[in-house]
Amino acid sequence: MSASECSPGTHTIFFRVKDDDGAGSIKDIEYVTIEAPNEAPIANFTYLPEKPVVDETTFLLSNILSTFSQNPIRGFLIPIPMIPSFKSP
């Protein structure tokens, strides 16, 4: 059985061998821990208002989720292809 056939968690493995004459070894026990695979983080965003118009303030709301606690998200970059405009007071 390969590790890919086991579910994540700790598994108990029993092992015993015999030679050609039938002499057997004592049973050996090992514990194997299978880690869950790293899943890609989920990036998702929305913006308000739903239908922005020129010169209106628009808010970008982001939600980044990760299910892999041993490798948390340390930062993210969201490129926004737009031409910003600025007004002087």
Residue in 89, 88, 62, 59 with CA at minimum distance from that of residue 73: 62
Distance CA 63, CA 43 (A): 6
**Residues contacting 2, CB < 8 A, separation 6+:** none
pTM: 0.38
22-31 residue pLDDT tens: 999 999 999 9
Mean pLDDT of 2-29: 86
Burial class (CB in 10 A: 0-12, 13-18, 19+), 41: middle
Burial class (CB in 10 A: 0-12, 13-18, 19+), 68: middle
